[in-house]
Structure 1
């Protein structure tokens, strides 16, 4: 993530949620806290390594809270912070747009 010098709000927002996986992880966390394994199964196509990396980045910038329960077996849950919830809310119209235009997008030839 950049530290300074954003040209506009969109530049800053894209820096926080950039890439394919973060928005999908945010969406999966929108209702309730989720364990790592649940996220791994629900975010189709993400590798374990990538999920760990993305969750760490999202925790670092304050989007996600990681709660460790010291029990046997150990339990870790991820949830959205207030900051993460606000970003998820901002992404909802983009998801609606994608749903509305999914067939058109799928028909675009890929290079």
Structure 2
């Protein structure tokens, strides 16, 4: 038997680093801002994406990174490009805030 050289994935192609799915860290609060704009609850998003509500909360808080396929699912749900999920949420200013009488 040969020594694996301490590599935990040696002989296990499904554990090899090159086969792991890359993950993304989105801008904090971006997902929650888009969810709020869409007037959805975390429970509704979880149901639509077929994931746990706690997972949605962790994605929104940034405590859990997203696989790229989840970035695509969120983008499709919120009708934005996946690129937009990485942008800082726009804060209303005088020029962009809705006018009130």
Does TM-score exceed 0.5, indicating one fold? no
Q: Which has the larger radius of gyration?
A: 2
If each structure's strand is expressed as a fraction of its own residues, which one has the higher value?
1
**RCO greater where, 1 or 2, for CA within 8 Å and sep 6 or more?**
2
If each structure's helix is expressed as a fraction of its own residues, which one has the higher value?
1
Query: TM-score, with normalisation over the residues of structure 1?
Result: 0.28
